[in-house]
Amino acid sequence: MQLEGLKATKRWPLWGQITLALGGAMLLMSVLAGVYVRALETRYVLNALQTQSQRTFALLVAATLDAIIAEDRPVLETMVTRVIRQDPDIVSVTIENKEGRPLVQWQNPTVQPRLSLQAFSQDLTLAGEKFGRMTMAWNMAGQQAQRCSSMPPGCSSFL
């Protein structure tokens, strides 16, 4: 048995064995580097999407604070309606008063794939006094697909 293995290595010259080993090592390093870079790109995209969603949420919280304090339902409903028209990826919005009763509650009636939900919830306070709570949920799958268009094929398998 060992003689057959020994004969097989004698058929390959040393320079051929070294070339094959180096080529295999380079191929392995290329694949591993590609996987690592893809993971970094994916993390960057997800962080960017989360930051964008947090900014939208913070802006809506700031814009609705006066109406929440006054518990002005028509104004809150109008604001929520305008926001959901601008961002079709919003899945649900709930605004509650300080007792926890809903002032506005909206759920997207269309059936969407809930592959990647991102939810934010925040107490609405002014000068240390709590006036209510706002909760929003986004379906991030559409935004992820848009971001993936700038990446090589196969992006969605890593997101």
Query: Among residues 78, 50, 79, which one has the least CA distance to residue 63?
Result: 79
- What are the pLDDT digits (tens) for 3-28? 565 565 568 898 999 999 999 999 99
Q: What's the pLDDT score for residue 19?
A: 95
Q: What DSSP character marks residue 111?
A: -
Domain locations in the chain as residue ranges:
32-148
Summarize pLDDT for 85-104 with one digit per residue, the tens: 888 888 889 999 989 899 99
Predicted pLDDT at 77: 92
Instruction: Report how far residue 108's alpha carbon sits from residue 140's, in angstroms, rounded to the nearest whole number.
Output: 14
pLDDT on residue 75: 92
Res. 154: pLDDT tops 90: no
pLDDT tens column, 53-74: 788 888 888 888 888 888 889 9
Look at residue 142 in the predicted model and tell me its pLDDT. Answer: 64
- Looking at residue 53, what is its pLDDT? 79
- Tell me the backbone φ, ψ of residue 91, rounded to 5 degrees: -95, -40
Report the phi/psi class of residue 127: left, alpha or beta, with left for phi > 0 and alpha for psi in -120 to 50: left
Mean pLDDT of the chain: 82
What pLDDT sits at residue 123?
87
Look up the pTM and report it. Answer: 0.62
- Find the mean pLDDT for residues 135-146: 74
Higher-scoring residue by pLDDT: 153, 84:
84
Task: Quote the CA–CA distance of 102 and 124 in Å, as a whole number.
Answer: 13
**144 — pLDDT class (breaks 50, 70, 90):** low
Domain spanning 32-148: CATH 3.30.70: no
